[in-house]
Amino acid sequence: MFLGHYGVAFAAKRFAPRTTLGPLTFAAQFLDELWPILLLLGVEHVRIAPWLIRQSSSTVAGGRHATSTTPLEFVYYPFSHSLLMAVVWAALIGGFYFLLRRYGRGAWVIALLVVSHWLLDLPMHRGDLPLWPGASSPKVGWGLWDVFILTYIIEFTIYFAGLFMYVRATRARDRVGAWGLWVYAILLPLIFLASNGPPPPSVQALAWTALGIWLFVPLAWWVDKHRYYVGRLAIHAETTRA
């Protein structure tokens, strides 16, 4: 999943109004932000398998189901994409945010966003998500990537629902807050659509390209700084926004 994570980050603004969209986006996409770093370090492994797209209705070696929307076979990624480690990362990131900003609600929301990434990946992946690091861990996933149209429906529904909640809860301070949001909101679906093109030439090229999602963290923070919260949840009189 790609767009859905950003949709959840948008929606989370309503529940942590003092937290800017930058940290919310960072938390919602943290597992995928960590993954290419671990790939480049050789800690985790992925295989580029173009036939997974061509054989979407069959199975490939080892009984794994092929998928119609990604040419990637996730061989080993327990530190970025196991459920246990998602909980550990959530506690660490949420705890660090609380120490930095002293905003309990924001810390809880950020922690939940980190775990939400794994939960949103669960219905999409092919049964390659480990529950914990180690060879004994079962691997789970419902394989909805096998259904091309359903993948798009789920991604865009979550994304636009979250964006709608964010727009309802905030207002633009200036032109950056107005036009910047829409540039950001349109750019994400375009990147998602473009990602379904030809397979990457190598794992290293994939990893370096995937690192580009880090750019959306400061971009989200910048857009949100030019908007102000108008939702129902009170933010009291504090003016400092994390």
First-residue to last-residue Cα distance in the chain:
27
At residue 190, the 3 state secondary structure works out as helix
Q: What share of the chain is helix, strand, coil (3-state, %, to 5)?
A: 60, 10, 30
**In the chain, where are the structural domains located?**
3-42+78-229
Q: Closest Cα to residue 132, out of 63, 80, 75? A: 80
What is the rounded CA–CA span in Å between residue 231 and residue 52? 44
At residue 27, the 3 state secondary structure works out as helix
Each residue's pLDDT tens digit in the chain (242 positions)?
899 999 999 999 999 999 999 999 999 999 999 999 999 999 999 999 876 665 444 443 344 444 567 788 999 999 999 999 999 999 999 999 999 999 999 999 999 999 999 999 999 998 999 999 998 999 999 989 888 889 999 999 999 999 999 999 999 999 999 999 999 999 999 999 988 778 889 999 999 999 999 999 999 999 999 999 998 776 653 444 55
What is the rounded CA–CA span in Å between residue 23 and residue 106? 9
Q: Strands, E, within 22-180: which ranges?
A: 45-48, 72-76, 129-130, 139-140, 170-172
Q: What's residue 63's pLDDT?
A: 41
Q: What's residue 59's pLDDT?
A: 41
Q: Strands, E, within 77-126: which ranges?
A: none
- Asked if 221 and 21 touch (Cβ cutoff 8 Å), the reply is yes
What is the rounded CA–CA span in Å between residue 49 and residue 205? 14
Q: What's residue 64's pLDDT?
A: 43
Element (H, E) at 229: strand 227-229
Element (H, E) at 33: helix 30-40
What is the rounded CA–CA span in Å between residue 18 and residue 239? 8
Q: What's residue 234's pLDDT?
A: 61
Q: What's residue 49's pLDDT?
A: 80
The tokens describing 8, both together, are: 């959840």
